[in-house]
Amino acid sequence: MADILLDSGMDEVQKRLMFDDECILVDENDRVVGHESKYNCHLMENIEFKNWLHRAFSVFLFNSKYELLLQQRSATKVTFPLVWTNTCCSHPLYRESELIEEEALGARNAAQRKLLDELGIPAEDVPVDQFIPVGRMLYKAPSDGKWGEHELDYLLFIIRDVNVNPNPDEVADVKYVNKEQLKELVRKADGGEEGLKLSPWFRLVVDNFLFKWWDHAEKGTLKEAADMKTIHKLT
């Protein structure tokens, strides 16, 4: 209760998610070691002093023109408000359907759930079997003095034409970009232009993997390029 009182200024929707959602704690080899509230998992004191690491996913949704859908996180987000990022970023929860490790099914189930929650994309528009797990990365990123991220992130690609109806509690804006438009966005963020900021996990994917996987997606060779055995440690 003390934590809730301390965070009385937190948006009510985000507060509910922070305390109700149970994230999956893992070790650096992605073995499940427990579960904790989203709130506790994102406290920098737990990340720094307990080395808590939780499982996450990042969706990269492309339309049939191979344009990537980006979202700007809402102003009420506890971590990284108003930054631009990939299509959808969240966590598999500590529940049976999202703990399934075979072929990253738990992460894919969670991705389908959150695309509806955040962007209003119905499940039938993003079938679980259409997500292609392409890799895993481990990273740590402080958001401010109190909050941060320490995630083992499943990177999921999907190529579908969808209707988007963003949830304003989660998303401030959306847009599709081609490769050149994304490079321009990165340039502006690097130069501090227009107040543009990119999420740290998205920037890591852009700098290390995205464009080569994007090329493979266009060529139809993405599954061959995927590597789910390696955990890329980018902290």
| Residues with a known catalytic role | 89, 151
Are 110 and 57 contacting, i.e. CB atoms less than 8 angstroms apart? yes
CB neighbours (10 Å) of residue 10?
16
What are the backbone angles phi and psi of residue 22, rounded to the nearest 5°?
A: -105, 110
CB neighbours (10 Å) of residue 44?
17
Q: Which residue has the tokens 């993405």?
A: 222
Are 136 and 232 contacting, i.e. CB atoms less than 8 angstroms apart? yes
3-class DSSP assignment, residue 208? helix
What are the backbone angles phi and psi of residue 142, rounded to the nearest 5°?
A: -70, 145
Amino acid 109 reads: N
